[in-house]
Structure 1
Amino acid sequence: MGLYHAKEDRYDLMQYRRCGKSGILLPLLSLGLWHNFGDHDDFDNAREILQTAFNNGITHFDLANNYGPPYGSAETNFGKIFQQDFKNYRDELIISTKAGWDMWPGPYGNFGSRKYLIASLDQSLKRMGLDYVDIFYHHRPDPNTPLEETMGALDHIVRQGKALYVGISQYNAEDTAKAAKILKELGTPLLIHQPRYNLMDRWVENGLLDTIEETGVGSIAFSPLEQGILTSKYLHGIPEGSRASRQGSYLDRTQITNEVVQQIKELNEIAISRDQSLAQMAVAWLLKDSRVTSVLVGVSKVSQLKDNLDALKIIEFSTEELNKIDSILNY
């Protein structure tokens, strides 16, 4: 691959939404580097995915300290690609990373202490070769560390200039409201919440979406395709070589029950009637709600990314379609 020059019409190819009550606009699709950017993955393929994303107006790249494998390698590889291709475009990008899950041995490499969050971000910046990230997240709730300590650390990180904005991930509605209140009082507003959300996993509808709306916070949904279940991959059960067929995978083969296969077949029929793939409909379904600022997609090849981008062509749903989807999934 030669010297990278971004496509000049990239911003004409993407729609953007305001993130809560902030000054930030996010692309309807953001690129997550959870999988496919580690040391065991094809570096040139990773680079091509990032270039294609930006060429299509995806300005937001989302990482975490322990993405890989091994831990840290997604940030290191992203840093190499950033230096090669995106250094001149830094001010056009929103780069985020997170800390909250296990990262290094001992009591200070996990959860939500001030010590862990500040040390982790310093390591992340070094791996990526960046002076700052645009968004730094606390990656998961910590039941034992006082929320004041965790939010105080996020505020401190912004004041240090190491992050421009802060976010949280997977917090419930009550703790989200508390976190937003603490941060507001500290003078560093909560920008964004990153929850797991898709057609089959709708926990955010039990209060969280209302809370983020009330507090003026944006949201970005991860796992929009339920780890690949909401694609054509499992329409006939579990194929060899799929994520569900591999031991130690995040997706367990026990999740692909006969009932689930039947549900995705029926959902696929609706998608076909909309002139979409099942994956495209699943992405579009999340964006029907304006409280969802962006959908975070993870892809293993450029063709998957282009397929996801095509989902943005039809994001409206009829009441009849929505009711049918709900009845298939027993909502």
Structure 2
Amino acid sequence: MYKASDTRYKNTQLRHAGTTGLMLPPISLGLWRNFGSADPLSKRREVILHAFDKGIFHFDVANHYGNGHEDYGSSEELLGRILHDDLKSYRDELVISTKVGYEIHDGPYGIGTSRKSLLQGINDSLQRLNLDYVDIYYAHKYDSTTPVEETARALDDIVKAGKTLYVGVSNYDYPEMKAIIEQFKKLGTPFVLDQMSMNLLNNHVEESNLINLLKTNGAGVIAYGPLCEGLLSDKYLDGIDDTSFIHHTNQKLLLNGTAELVRKLNSLNSIAENRNQTLSQMALSWLLRDPVVSSVIIGTTDIGHLDSNLKALDNISFSKTEISDINDIINK
């Protein structure tokens, strides 16, 4: 029987979601890829429980996650088994988040953020997760076919029904974000987080002024893909091959060719080495230097990688020279 480490909070550096009372670990574990029914439960259980022992108490998933069209929802099911079998007695310590909006089943209500999709989506997710409520429920993407008023009202009703404690949105650009925040304010909805693709090479959240919109409204940003699908590691310092997966939000990084991107990676790696960090560790530290970043979501199935990433927290401050040098590299 699993018993959590007594020292799991010894080195945890808590961060608030904006100005709210929701607290998160600076590094969270996401179950986007390789946590579905086609993956070994025992190995994934080992990683999730090890993460909790190390102070990672936030686990992020979505109803869409799994191993493809026939397997949507299986990542929630995998986490649900571990929540039931191993972490049930620790439920009050955990922050569990899930999302709705991308395809989950056939038909018009298997996608989008209409009231029907959201209300049936939360019920299905709770069943798969073996939970009575989640801590954060996200609209996973902006749905242009549904008024933001309808999406906001449905999320607010889910809070009032006790099925989520807080709400968030993901992949909303500035105009849509501003519009839905206005609705949340009218309703008094506990909106706390914007989950966005964000990494050292992709500063869209800052460039679009989303980050200031969130600050102004007391919400935080939580970064997914903080290592840019592995680009921000030592894996590609010698080159990027054609089979490498790069998320659509980062495709612009290839506009000047892979050789130029590899040059940038090596320049950044040199700065990381001078900081006694790996490139991955520096990339995580870079995001966490701004308090509005409530957490960064890493996706790993390897305990060694997880422990290495956690060492980023040993140094999240940057000198003026380091900031200037890094900006020079990424903006060229």
Match 1:222 to one of 221, 224, 229: 224
Query: C-alpha separation between the residues in 2 aligned to 1:189 and 1:162?
Result: 13
> What's the CA shift for 1:248?
10
> What's the CA shift for 1:197?
0.6
Runs of 4+, deviation exceeding 4 Å: 246-252
Counterpart amino acid of residue 115 in structure 2: R
Query: C-alpha separation between the residues in 2 aligned to 1:27 and 1:174?
Result: 29
Change (3 A) 1:329 1:249: closer
Change (3 A) 1:105 1:248: farther
> What's the CA shift for 1:175?
2.1
Contact 1:177 1:215 in 2 (8 A): no
Write out per-residue CA displacement over residues 23-50 of structure 1, whole angstroms, 9 at most, x where no aligned residue.
1111101110101211122211111111
Q: Name the counterpart of 2:40.
A: 42
Query: C-alpha separation between the residues in 2 aligned to 1:90 and 1:59?
Result: 10
Match of 1:22, SS state, is coil
Q: Name the counterpart of 2:149.
A: 148
Match of 1:245, SS state, is coil
Q: Name the counterpart of 1:104.
A: 105
Is residue 2:328 matched to residue 1:330? no
Change (3 A) 1:249 1:330: closer
Q: Name the counterpart of 2:293.
A: 292
> What's the CA shift for 1:247?
8.0
Question: Which blocks of at least 5 consecutive residues in structure 1 are unaligned?
Answer: none
> What's the CA shift for 1:12?
1.3
Query: C-alpha separation between the residues in 1 aligned to 2:227 and 2:246?
Result: 19
Match 1:31 to one of 29, 32, 37: 29
Contact 2:35 2:44 in 1 (8 A): yes
> What's the CA shift for 1:121?
1.3
Is residue 2:239 matched to residue 1:237? yes
Contact 1:180 1:189 in 2 (8 A): no
Contact 2:4 2:53 in 1 (8 A): yes
Query: C-alpha separation between the residues in 2 aligned to 1:54 and 1:235?
Result: 31
Counterpart amino acid of residue 281 in structure 2: Q
Counterpart amino acid of residue 103 in structure 1: I
Change (3 A) 1:231 1:139: same
Identity, % of aligned positions? 45
Contact 2:228 2:246 in 1 (8 A): no
Query: C-alpha separation between the residues in 1 aligned to 2:226 and 2:245?
Result: 22
TM-score in terms of structure 2 length: 0.94
Write out per-residue CA displacement over residues 163-200 of structure 1, whole angstroms, 9 at most, x where no aligned residue.
11100011122322221221121121311111111111
Query: C-alpha separation between the residues in 1 aligned to 2:283 and 2:181?
Result: 29
Contact 2:194 2:221 in 1 (8 A): yes
Write out per-residue CA displacement over residues 252-281 of structure 1, whole angstroms, 9 at most, x where no aligned residue.
8x9471111111011111111000000000
Write the mapping of 1:200-219 to structure 2, written as runs, cut at 5 A.
200-205=201-206, 206-219=208-221
Q: Name the counterpart of 2:61.
A: 63
Is residue 2:2 matched to residue 1:4? yes
Q: Name the counterpart of 1:198.
A: 199
Write the mapping of 1:48-127 to structure 2, written as runs, cut at 5 A.
48-69=46-67, 70-127=71-128
Write out per-residue CA displacement over residues 282-307 of structure 1, whole angstroms, 9 at most, x where no aligned residue.
00000011111111111121111101
Counterpart amino acid of residue 13 in structure 1: N
> What's the CA shift for 1:231?
0.6
> What's the CA shift for 1:81?
1.0
Q: How many residues are aligned here?
A: 324
Contact 1:220 1:292 in 2 (8 A): yes
> What's the CA shift for 1:120?
1.2
> What's the CA shift for 1:201?
1.1
Change (3 A) 1:270 1:313: same
Match of 1:300, SS state, is coil
Q: Name the counterpart of 1:15.
A: 13
Match of 1:175, SS state, is helix
Contact 1:135 1:165 in 2 (8 A): yes
Query: C-alpha separation between the residues in 2 aligned to 1:21 and 1:272?
Result: 34
TM-score in terms of structure 1 length: 0.94
Query: C-alpha separation between the residues in 2 aligned to 1:33 and 1:79?
Result: 12
Counterpart amino acid of residue 126 in structure 2: L
Change (3 A) 1:150 1:17: same
Is residue 2:307 matched to residue 1:306? yes
